[in-house]
Amino acid sequence: MINSRGFFIMDKFLIVGLGNIGTEYEHTRHNIGFDILDFFVQKNGGLFQSDRLAFKAEVKLKGKLIICIKPTTFMNLSGKAVKYWMDKEKIDVSRIFILVDELAVPLEKIKIKPAGSDGGHNGLKSIQEILGHSNYPRLRFGIGNDFPKGRQVEHVLGKWAKKEEAIVAKKIEISAEAIVHFVLTDLQHAMGAINNLTF
């Protein structure tokens, strides 16, 4: 991209993995956004460092600058980190991509959407409150709702079952590919490539 003064400006994107900081939350269903970003950044030679309101890494792909953040605000204040980095890097809402766990999507699926409600997810609720709308792209990583009545919190904050681990690993890999689709082509292409897959 060339600006009005003839200087090359790298195309920017903001990829946000939602989760909670702290060892007790590592590799839980609710932290899948962190795990996807860790995989993506490591695969592309990036490195996370502590920064304002988030762990931040930068990845460059074919002339695009991908700013990856894992908010350190805890889930219910995720919007603060998203807004800060959008404003700091001057990134439009159409170029942010939120990676989130989703109870309403079965474990065997990943669903990418251009917009939608928070679905009771505290991270999405915070983002919606701070942005003032819910029109931002998101990748919904299905965690399923196979848990006894009244045990939703334990399910969401729990570790993956042994029998789920192979599917989760494959879905993390495909979710990283979805980031590449989103950045190098567009949201519709990413949706077409990912939404009909079953794992």
Catalytic residue among 27, 30, 155, 181: 30
Sheet holding 138-142, edge to edge: 49-51, 54-61, 64-71, 11-17, 96-102, 138-142, 110-113
Q: Which 3 state secondary structure label does DSSP give 62?
A: coil
**End-to-end Cα spacing for the chain:** 37
Asked if residues 25 and 108 have their Cβ atoms less than 8 Å apart, the reply is no
Q: How far is the C-alpha of 52 from the C-alpha of 125, rounded, in Å? A: 21
Task: Respond yes or no: is residue 181 known to be catalytic.
Answer: no
The backbone region for 58, taken as left when phi is positive above 0, alpha when psi lies in -120 to 50, beta otherwise, is: beta
Point out the residues that are catalytic: 30
